[in-house]
Amino acid sequence: MKTIRFNIIMAFVLALLCTATIGKAQSTFKQGDVYSKTTRIHASGVLQRGNQQFNINTASSISKTYKVTGLTGNGVILTVTTTHIADTVDAFNKRQVYDSAKPADTSSFIQMALQSLVGKVVTLSIDRSGIITDVNDPDEQYATDTLMTFAGFNRDQFITGSRLDLFADYQPAKKSGETWVSHTALDDEKISTTYTVGESAEEGRHVSLSVNSTSTGTDQNSYTNGVLVVDQGSGVILLGAMKTATVSYKLVNNTASSFSRRTEVLEKCTKMN
């Protein structure tokens, strides 16, 4: 059933190449430009700890704005603001529901951690390729990677030298059917991603990319596949549907633990002005 649902989502994204009304591509960003992106995530996981097994299912969404607050000789300055988070976790025979539009449960560590991210602002310098060249993050109050994974979210990687997830690794000169591979490394994690250019429904405006990616680390491996719709002028990812399978392992107090998770992600980004 989940495979059918994801295939429907993939077909929907591809259909939007032909039917969506997308604003004129921005060959350059202007000061004051604002993009709004919403990411919806459905994940099902199994935690195995010794002889114990636990099912963890999540349905989450997170919305952010990206505002151009300055121009540089090599790119732009962006402020990234988390505007809304919603999260439902079914685990250990309990359900926890959080919506940042409502007061958080002060007795819930997860809800308070998520609440600390709402309104959070990070200022980034980005070059013309979408690579982060500088990070100014005055807020040191982070939710941990483990907590964010448990809640169904992927942590932001605002790391100098990495590509901001608003942008695709794509050059407009690439033609339909062309394939290339991107290699990146974050701490002990190595990521290899293969991109293939699909047909453009409207030449010079937007293009589809199929994505296949593998990630290997000390205690975690994952595989991702899906499709992106990219604005050819700005390189901004307008739509995305991705599916990821992840397996991680840990040894704590001589007890082996494993966590396997399947995740479906649907993203939509809109230029607001």
pLDDT for residue 1 = 52
Structure confidence by residue, pLDDT tens digits, 13-27 = 444 443 333 333 334
Structure confidence by residue, pLDDT tens digits, 170-180 = 777 678 889 98
pLDDT for residue 240 = 95
pLDDT for residue 64 = 95
Backbone φ, ψ for residue 209 (5° rounding): -125, 130
pLDDT for residue 212 = 95
pLDDT above 80 for 118: yes
Structure confidence by residue, pLDDT tens digits, 240-272 = 999 999 998 888 778 888 989 999 999 999 999
Query: pTM for the full model?
Result: 0.81
User: Region 86-94: what's the mean pLDDT?
Assistant: 90
Beta bridge partners of 206: 202, 231
High-pLDDT (> 90) share of the chain, %: 43
Structure confidence by residue, pLDDT tens digits, 126-169 = 998 888 999 987 554 445 555 666 666 666 668 888 889 898 88
pLDDT for residue 18 = 39
pLDDT above 80 for 125: yes
Instruction: Using CB atoms within 10 Å of the CB of residue 218, give its burial: 0 to 12 exposed, 13 to 18 middle, 19+ buried.
Output: exposed
pLDDT above 80 for 213: yes
Residue pair 70/104 in contact (Cβ under 8 Å)? The answer is no
* CA-derived radius of gyration, the chain: 19
What is the number of structural domains in the chain? 1
pLDDT above 90 for 7: no
Query: CATH number, domain at 9?
Result: 2.30.230
pLDDT above 90 for 200: no
Q: Cα–Cα distances in Å, from 238 out to 38, 134, 262, 265?
A: 10, 24, 23, 14
Amino acid letter, residue 210:
S
**Conformation bin of residue 161: beta by default, left when phi > 0, alpha when psi is -120 to 50:** left
Could you tell me how many residues make up the chain? 273
Range(s) of the domain holding residue 181: 2-271
pLDDT for residue 249 = 87
Q: Cα–Cα distances in Å, from 66 out to 14, 32, 80, 271?
A: 25, 10, 5, 9
Beta-carbon neighbour count of residue 142 at 10 Å?
15
Residue of 156 and 213 predicted with greater confidence: 213
pLDDT above 70 for 6: no
